[in-house]
Amino acid sequence: MELNIAIVDDMKTDAVKLENFIRSYFFDNAHILGRIDIYSSGEEMLKNFKPDLIHLVFMDIVMNEINGIETAKQLRQADTKILIVFTTTSSEYAFDAFPIHPFDYILKPYDGENVYSVLSEAVRVLQIEELIIKVKVSRSEYEIPARKISSVVSQGHNTEINLVNGECLLSNTKFGELENLLLGHRDFLVCNRGIIVNMSQILTQEQGIFVMKNGARYPIRVNGQSKVTAAFFQYLISNMRAGK
């Protein structure tokens, strides 16, 4: 998979050094690097951030105005999947950063071996989670990363595929085929007959309904509701333990 990375650091020399280590790692290991975005402040990062576009962010903790921990809190609210690696000159901030569920920490000054180790683990985790779904829309075939699917809804002989970016595809791929593929992925759950939701895209649960981040509302089946809600609760707990 192609990885997009962000560096947030108000020290330009540190940001450039880290960027060079990242580029060297991807070159040496033949992984595909999408892009590296460098921001000099948390404010700049938040202003330009769009969910699901950045996979991994290296976040300096000590910055002026909005510090790295506050910036990371806002990123985590917008994107539960993004991997956050805190960078700092001291480990004293580790306790403050713990509620953000960071993926890792790197102490400055940067050491190539430590950066490579974090990148290697991040690539492994992200590759495991990547699942590509092939669907037919009219006479064309699309390849869609599962993480970009918000929900799948049966519509008679067709299937409605709602994407995270708001796009909706009406596919002639059978619902059952997509169900078999998606339910092998930890993020997806059948909440009712003919409805599959991406649990990472659920905003909240209220009175037997999943409210999605895009505003869609899907009923949880009455028969077996406790099982569905338990699965969602367990998913949230697992994410907390995994630092997501």
DSSP string, the chain: -EEEEEEE-S-HHHHHHHHHHHHHHHHHHTPEEEEEEEESSHHHHHHH--TTT-SEEEEES--SSS-HHHHHHHHHHH-SS-EEEEEES-GGGHHHHGGG--SEEEESSP-HHHHHHHHHHHHHHHHHH--EEEEEETTEEEEEEGGGEEEEEEETTEEEEEETTS-EEEE-S-HHHHHHHHTTSTTEEEEETTEEEEGGGEEEEETTEEEETTS-EEEPPSTTHHHHHHHHHHHHHHHHHHT-
Q: Which residues in the chain come in under a pLDDT of 50?
A: none
pLDDT at 129: 66
pLDDT at 236: 87
The residue type at 56: L
| pLDDT tens sequence across 148-176 | 899 999 998 999 999 998 999 999 999 99
Q: What is the end-to-end Cα distance of the chain in Å, rounded?
A: 19
